[in-house]
Amino acid sequence: MPELPELEVVRDVLQARVGGRVVERVTLSGRGGPIVARDLTGGSFAETLSGAQIGTIQRRGKFMVFDLLPATDLHLVVNPKLTGRFQLALPGAKKAGPVHVTLHFGDPEEELRYVDQKRMGQLYLTTDLAKVPTYSDMGPDALDISQEEFVARLRRFRGEIKGVLAREKLVAGIGNAYADEILWVARIHPYRKRTELTSEEIEALYAAMRETLLDSIDEVREAMGEDVHLKPRDFFAVHMRGGESCPRCGGKVSEITARGKITNFCRSCQPGGLIRGM
């Protein structure tokens, strides 16, 4: 799942490359197009979007929001979910995966493709962001929230801290992968109960969240360049590195799979928590 650091870089690239350009036409591909593309204005997705100019592109949590002109209240909202990606390409260039929606630009001729292996993500055209499913349920963006607000919001949640951290209602933008990385930086076991954390540990968690996300944006920007379909994560310390050596202490990185999600952490650096196996 693309998370905040990847989408922040994608936003910057797309703003520079397609911001201000006019969508000449829109192609919905195969069975996936009608499933993925949804016009909440009551019109036709392709017809409504064709002829619109891309204005400001925003990122909120794991959503991308394209403001469309000349209307002042029309938006293209993208929720890529698990496997959604963008691809900027020339017509005829190799596809980065199954393409479901293509925005065609002219002068110079170029395409912005929405690629989704499992057709789980959605693109919405709307004049009311509140109509986009789950958009209004998100908490503050993980990079916008103050420490004081983070601490106050965290008190509302119970359960294991990794699950809490990845809940969009707490803060928006963090998923399974970056939750592992943040908790490693904070030296907090992912299965510690939120109610067990000390005030010092919560402060460390907030600092680790900002440090990890900001440093990761820099890493992603360097590795991705303008290839927005990529998801560079070679720089991760523990996520998807089960059985390898912890880069901090040299201990073995643990890997646990539960409810279809992989959790990685270092038992030496992140002590405590419920032991679920290796």
> For residue 107, what pLDDT is reported?
84
Assigned architecture for domain 4-137: Alpha-Beta Barrel (3.20)
> Residue 99's pLDDT band (boundaries 50, 70, 90)?
very high
Per-chain mean pLDDT for the chain = 95
pTM metric for this prediction: 0.94
Q: Residue 88 — φ and ψ, nearest 5°? A: -95, 125
SS3 assignment, position 147: helix
Q: Are strands 122-126 and 74-79 parallel, antiparallel or unpaired?
A: antiparallel
Q: Do the two domains 4-137 and 147-266 of this chain adopt the same fold?
A: no
Percent of all residues in the chain with a pLDDT value above 90, rounded to a whole number: 91
Instruction: Please give the pLDDT value at position 108.
Output: 86
Sign of CA dihedral 130, 131, 136, 138: negative
CA–CA gap between residue 244 and residue 254 (Å, rounded): 8
Using DSSP's 3-state secondary structure scheme, residue 140 falls into coil
Helix (H, G, I), strand (E, B) or coil at 85: strand
CA dist., res. 271 & res. 98, Å (int) = 42
| pLDDT given at position 273 | 66
Q: Are 61 and 203 in contact (CB under 8 A)?
A: no
Give the model's pLDDT for residue 35.
86
Mean pLDDT across the stretch 143-163? 97
Q: In one letter, which amino acid is 129?
A: L
Tokens in use for 255? 């890997």
pLDDT digits (tens, 9 = 90+) for 27-78: 998 676 778 999 999 999 999 999 999 999 999 999 999 999 998 899 999 9
Q: What are the sequence ranges of the domains in the chain?
A: 4-137, 147-266
Class of domain 147-266: mainly alpha
What are the tens digits of pLDDT across the range 179-234? 999 999 999 999 999 999 999 999 999 999 999 999 999 999 999 999 999 999 99
SS3 27: strand
